[in-house]
Amino acid sequence: MKPFTTLTSIVAPLPRDNVDTDAIIPSCEMTSTSKTGLAVGLFAPWRYINSAARTPNPNFVLNQPEYHGAQILASGANFGCGSSREHAVWALAEYGISCVIAESFAPIFYNNCIRNGIAPIALPRTVIGTLAGGAATVDLAAQTVNGHAFDIEAEAKMMLLEGLDAIDLTLKHRDATAAWQARDRAARPWIYLEKHP
């Protein structure tokens, strides 16, 4: 996974609360079992006047010339709520969005971002208002956006900064996990199942 360290980009404003993952990528745009080929469906209901014909909606922020190539999206509270579909994050990443700044994030979407190298940054609404539409520099190590400090959980920060794969990281503890499980099998035998016919 590509490490996320610093990023400078124009900030595309999407000033809505509760942007759900059905809006980020509708179920009908998830047409294969692949993690790619999803960028075209990103924000399809808002981005296109006619989704089937892919007729761009000129009023949608990402269709406006000043936001072409924007890598930072700014939105309201509870961004990414709804369905757990990781396709929402894959679509954002494939489109070129590397950072979402929002007042808050839904928890599953937040974790999906961390697993895919997208920085989900929570800032107060008033600060987001000053960033939206302009250029911003995110410095993850310093935990600032244009000098405004933000909080991020330590492990999430490390995973992003180093571009770590969570599974590889956890598999380093394979022996400890196996030892724990051997003890657990004795303590909670009811958890363990035999293959059912």
Q: Which is nearer to other proteins, 86 or 136 (CB)?
A: 86
Interface with other proteins by CB under 8 A: which residues? 16-18, 20, 22-23, 26-35, 45, 51, 77-78, 81-86, 89, 104, 106-108, 111-112, 115-116, 153, 155-156, 166-167, 169-171, 173-174, 177, 180-181, 184, 188-196
Distance CA 109, CA 83 (A): 9
Q: How far is the CB of 73 from other proteins (least distance, A)?
A: 18
CB closer to other proteins out of 10 and 20? 20
- By beta-carbon proximity to other proteins, the closer residue of 58 and 193 is 193
Helix (H) or strand (E) holding 74: strand 72-75
Closer CB to other proteins, 126 or 174, in the complex: 174
What Å distances lie between residue 87 and 29, 35, 78, 190, CA to CA?
10, 7, 18, 35
Shortest Å distance, C-beta 91 to other proteins: 13
Q: Which CB sits closer to other proteins, 69 or 124?
A: 124
State the minimum distance, in angstroms, from the CB of residue 8 to other proteins: 27
Q: How far apart are CA 169 and CA 167, in angstroms?
A: 5
C-beta of residue 115 within 8 angstroms of C-beta of residue 140: no
> 86 - beta bridge partners?
none
Q: Could you identify the residue written with the tokens 């990443």?
A: 93
Q: What is the DSSP letter of 41?
A: G
Pair 101, 128: CB distance under 8 Å? yes
Q: Taking the complex as a whole, how short is the minimal distance between the CB of residue 100 and other proteins, in angstroms?
A: 15
Sequence-distant (6+) residues with CB within 8 A of 110 are 80, 120
For other proteins, which is the closer residue by CB, 65 or 168? 168
Min dist CB 97 to other proteins, Å, is 17
Report the amino acid identity of residue 168: D
The nearest distance, CB 140 to other proteins, in angstroms, is 17
